[in-house]
Amino acid sequence: MMDQQLISTSFTINRKEYKVSVAPWSSLLDVMRETLDLTGTKKGCDHGQCGACTVLINGKRVLSCLTLAVMKEGAEITTIEGIAEDGKLHPLQQAFIDHDAFQCGYCTPGQICSAIGMLQEGKAQSRAEVKELMSGNLCRCGANTNIIDAIMEIKEGAAHA
Amino acid sequence: MHNFRYKAATSVSDAVVEVNQSAEGQFVAGGTNVLDLMKYFVAKPEVLVDVNPLNSLPVVSEYKEGVRLSAFATNADTAYHPIIEKRYPLLSKAILAGASAQIRNMATNGGNLLQRTRCYYFYDVNTPCNKREPGTGCSAIRGYNRMMAIMGTSEHCIAVFPSDMCVALAALGAVVNTDGMQGKREIPFADFHRLPGDHPEKDNNLLAGELITGIDLPAEGFAEHYAYLKLRDRNSYAFALVSVAVVFRLDGDLISEARIALGGIAHKPWRVLDAELYLQGKSATVDHFAAAAEIILQGAKTFEFNSFKPELARRAIIRCCKMALSPDTQLPGAQPSA
């Protein structure tokens, strides 16, 4: 085993600046959960197959398990902990509650961050397109129908606003 | 994951030198495949050279009569680029049929060409695999080979190349730009990936430490008549059992040019020029599409669990040819349309 190379890396998570010394092989997910105590983002498969670790980096939804922390110098990161404002739930959080869009809740932070990214991308028009563009987030409890219902409510609300 | 050194590249020559200094050096851009392989201990680079700082090209720029894609741009930025959507919609559709939205936001164009097979045995370090460990044998040939190749296999490897994007690039006749110790090269797409032969450990014809810098598309984008059809075990976020890219230029009812490329059936995107020549000058009918499919699939060799593939591919080719006649009817996710 080689000597551990620690690299000083700075980024912003939920509008707060962090400076960390990380090993090259530390994923952003592990740094957030294990070092920075930001455990809202979940580790599901750790292989990019389930979407539980989805966060927004510079506004784009990405997988924090397949992201090395050292490669995100200067990035602006948003996690599930950073989307409520002034103690008020983000509309998607409220919609997930209203539509019973989770059972165990483990995929929920990733689902919501992914849905925020998806709505910002603005590529999905129909329900079929929303389903297609949310396929990177798996729900093993079977709440998918309600998840899509929740997202469609916010999407259609935004369309009519 | 094992321990490795990390280096952010400062220039193309710096990146190439850094990777060449170590026999176990690798580039990283999006990281969606290489980091996954490292977590499974399939890839164990001594140094990982981050090429993202080299991303100075626009996502898409006009080049000669066609366009140049940046190798460092993400798959999503490429697929949704207005020029790609308008002039090369086949490429846009194929990219959007692959992976998930999150992965497309991370994965780069260069990395897409360099992704490794998803053969289960390649990923499982407890089983023999000639691609992962040359000379140990192929577990897939007598194993569970539902996903595996039916064309161009060898006694050493029956893995398939998993990309959707590359099936479109093959059909469009892209050119890969590289830079390395021997200088810059332009590699026609058909010559980029390899068949397994006696060296399944080699996926492509890049030289050691050679870096992809861009991908050129020729002027003709076939925006009038194109289709990408992907058949898989679930409707989204799965690798293809069979995928087909078809483009036509039509002169009235007659086909003046046809290109047909397949994914999911071989170690590289599969094109059979004889089938394309057969269609040239013929009317766009199901009978002619079926005859072209027969030509493409001549010599198919199946294994215990993938004997369904030639018939699936035959039907997919015919369906995709029909879809290409009216591209507007295509559904999201490259699913079959009527």
| pTM for the structure as a whole | 0.97
Helices assigned H by DSSP within B245-285: 273-279
- The verdict on a CB contact (< 8 Å) between B101 and A118 is yes
CATH for the stretch A91-160:
1.10.150.120
Instruction: Specify the 3-state DSSP secondary structure of A82.
Output: helix
Candidates A8, A21, A54, A66: best to mutate against B (most CBs of B within 10 A) is: A66
Which residues in chain A have Cβ-Cβ distances shorter than 8 Å to B2? 25
**pLDDT score, position B303:** 98
User: In Å, how far is B52's CA from the nearest CA of chain A?
Assistant: 9
Which of A5, A70, A27 is closest to B46 using CA atoms? A5
Contact between residue A47 and residue A138 where contact means Cβ atoms under 8 Å apart:
no
Statement: residue A159 has pLDDT above 80: no
**pLDDT score, position A3:** 59
- The verdict on a CB contact (< 8 Å) between A135 and B106 is no
- In chain B, pLDDT over 90 holds for what percent of residues? 93
Contact between residue B179 and residue B213 where contact means Cβ atoms under 8 Å apart:
yes
Which of B90, B114, B132, B29 is closest to B248 using CA atoms? B90
Which residues in chain B have Cβ-Cβ distances shorter than 8 Å to A48? 32, 36, 102-103
Around Cβ A127, how many Cβ atoms within 10 Å? 14
User: In Å, how far is B140's CA from the nearest CA of chain A?
Assistant: 22
Which of B162, B328, B332 is closest to B241 using CA atoms? B162
What letter represents residue A6's amino acid? L
- Judge whether A7-82 and A91-160 match in fold: no
Helices assigned H by DSSP within chain A: 28-30, 91-98, 108-121, 127-133, 144-160
Domain spanning B226-329, CATH architecture: 2-Layer Sandwich (3.30)
Candidates B100, B228, B330: best to mutate against A (most CBs of A within 10 A) is: B100
DSSP label at residue A16: E
State how far the Cα of B100 lies from the Cα of A138, in Å rounded to an integer: 11
Please, which pLDDT band fits residue A20 given cuts at 50, 70 and 90?
very high
Hey, what are B143's tokens? 């194993």
Partner residue opposite B48 with nearest CB, options A24, A46, A121 = A24
Digit-coded pLDDT (tens) for B32-75: 999 999 999 999 999 999 999 998 889 999 999 999 999 999 99
Digit-coded pLDDT (tens) for B273-325: 999 999 999 999 999 999 999 999 999 999 999 999 999 999 999 999 999 99
Please, which pLDDT band fits residue A2 given cuts at 50, 70 and 90?
low
A152 and chain B in contact, CB less than 8 A: no
- The verdict on a CB contact (< 8 Å) between A132 and B332 is yes
Give the domain B5-53 fold.
Answer: 3.30.43
- The verdict on a CB contact (< 8 Å) between A68 and B31 is yes
Q: Which residues in B have their CB inside 8 Å of a CB on A?
A: 1-6, 8, 28, 31-32, 35-36, 38-40, 48, 50, 52, 76, 80, 99-103, 105-106, 235-237, 331-333
A25 and chain B in contact, CB less than 8 A: yes
**Domains in chain B: boundaries:** 5-53, 226-329
Which residues in chain A have Cβ-Cβ distances shorter than 8 Å to B162? none
Q: State mean pLDDT over B233-253.
A: 96
Statement: residue B331 has pLDDT above 90: no
Q: State mean pLDDT over B216-231.
A: 98
User: Hey, which CATH number is domain A7-82, 3.40.50.11810, 3.40.1130.10, 3.10.20.30, 1.10.3720.10?
Assistant: 3.10.20.30
Minimum Cα–Cα distance from B332: chain A residue: A129
Question: Which of the two residues, B62 and A160, has the higher pLDDT score?
Answer: B62
Q: State mean pLDDT over A96-114.
A: 98
Partner residue opposite A24 with nearest CB, options B6, B76, B102 = B6
